[in-house]
Amino acid sequence: MTIGLADDTLLRQQCLIDGQWVGAAGDPVRNPADGSTVARVPRFNRTQAQDAIAAAQRAFETWSQALATERASLLRRWADLITANVKDLARIMTAEQGKPLAEAQGEILAAAGYIQFYAEEARRIGGEMRAAHRSDSRIMVSYQPTGVVGAITPWNFPAGMVARKVGPALAAGCTVVLKPAPETPLTALALAYLGQCAGLPAGVLNVVTGDAASIGEALFASPLVRFIGFTGSTATGKQLMRQAAEGVKRLGLELGGHAAFIVLPDADLEAAVEGALAAKFRNMGQTCVAANRLWIHAQVHDRFVTAFAEKVRSLKVGPGTQDGVQQGPLINERALDKVDRHVRDACAKGATRVTGGERHPLGGTYYQPTVLTRVSDDMEIAQEETFGPVAGISQFERVEEVIERVNASRYGLAAYVWGRDIGQVLRVAERLQCGMVGINSVALGTELAPIGGVKESGFGREGSHHGILEYCDMKYTLIGGLPAH
Ligand code: ADP
Calculate mean pLDDT across residues 12-39: 95
* Atom number, ligand 1, closest to the C-alpha of residue 335: 3
Whether residue 233 has its Cβ less than 6 Å from ligand 1: yes
Is the pLDDT at 244 greater than 80? The verdict is yes
Calculate mean pLDDT across residues 27-51: 97
Give the three-state DSSP class for 228. strand
Active site includes 254?
yes
Is the pLDDT at 10 greater than 80? The verdict is no
Calculate mean pLDDT across residues 165-194: 98
CA 10-15-16 angle, to 5 degrees, is: 115
First to last CA, the chain: 60
Confidence of residue 248 (pLDDT cuts 50, 70, 90): very high
pLDDT recorded at residue 4: 59
CA-to-CA dists, residue 73 to 121, 170, 186, angstroms? 12, 12, 25
Whether residue 331 has its Cβ less than 6 Å from ligand 1: no
Which residues 6+ apart lie within 8 Å of 427 measured at CB?
Answer: none
Calculate mean pLDDT across residues 393-415: 98
Please tell me the distance between residue 157's alpha carbon and the centre of ligand 1 in angstroms.
Answer: 14
Active site includes 430?
no
pLDDT recorded at residue 25: 87
- Test site for ligand 1: of 236, 249, 254, 387, most ligand atoms within 8 A of the Cβ: 236
Is the pLDDT at 256 greater than 70? The verdict is yes
pLDDT recorded at residue 118: 98
Percent of the chain residues topping a pLDDT of 90: 96
Q: How far apart are CA 172 and CA 468, in angstroms?
A: 6
pTM over 0.75, yes/no = yes
Please tell me the distance between residue 259's alpha carbon and the centre of ligand 1 in angstroms.
Answer: 22
Is the pLDDT at 8 greater than 70? The verdict is no
pLDDT recorded at residue 11: 56
Calculate mean pLDDT across residues 217-228: 98
Is the pLDDT at 342 greater than 60? The verdict is yes
Query: What's the mean per-residue pLDDT of the chain?
Result: 96
Say which of 121, 183, 254, 456 is annotated catalytic: 254
Nearest CA to ligand 1 atom 4: 154
Q: Are 152 and 179 in contact (CB under 8 A)?
A: yes
In a 10 Å sphere around its CB, with 0-12 CB exposed, 13-18 middle and 19+ buried, how is residue 129 labelled? Answer: exposed
Nearest CA to ligand 1 atom 14: 181
Is the pLDDT at 403 greater than 70? The verdict is yes
Say which of 15, 174, 288, 434 is annotated catalytic: 288
Is the pLDDT at 52 greater than 90? The verdict is yes
Whether residue 182 has its Cβ less than 6 Å from ligand 1: yes
What does residue 257 show for φ and ψ, rounded to 5 degrees? -135, 175
pLDDT recorded at residue 9: 52
Whether residue 243 has its Cβ less than 6 Å from ligand 1: no
Q: How far apart are CA 233 and CA 3, in angstroms?
A: 34
The amino acid occupying position 69 is T
Q: Are 461 and 454 in contact (CB under 8 A)?
A: no
Identify which of 480, 479, 472, 481 has the alpha carbon closest to the alpha carbon of residue 127: 472
Calculate mean pLDDT across residues 448-470: 98
pLDDT tens digits for range 97-156: 999 999 999 999 999 999 999 999 999 999 999 989 999 999 999 999 999 999 999 999
Please tell me the distance between residue 162's alpha carbon and the centre of ligand 1 in angstroms.
Answer: 14
418-421: list long-range contacts, CB under 8 Å, 24+ apart: 418/261, 418/262, 418/263, 418/264, 418/267, 418/268, 418/271, 418/272, 418/275, 419/263, 419/264, 419/265, 419/266, 419/267, 420/266, 420/267, 420/268, 421/264, 421/266
- Containing H/E element for 43? none
pLDDT recorded at residue 2: 55
Residue 106 has a CB neighbour count (10 Å cut-off) of 17
Please tell me the distance between residue 104's alpha carbon and the centre of ligand 1 in angstroms.
Answer: 22
Calculate mean pLDDT across residues 252-278: 98
Please tell me the distance between residue 232's alpha carbon and the centre of ligand 1 in angstroms.
Answer: 6
Percent of the chain residues topping a pLDDT of 70: 98
Residues composing the chain? 485
What does residue 231 show for φ and ψ, rounded to 5 degrees? -125, 130
Is the pLDDT at 212 greater than 90? The verdict is yes
Confidence of residue 405 (pLDDT cuts 50, 70, 90): very high
Whether residue 153 has its Cβ less than 6 Å from ligand 1: yes
Q: How far apart are CA 337 and CA 119, in angstroms?
A: 41
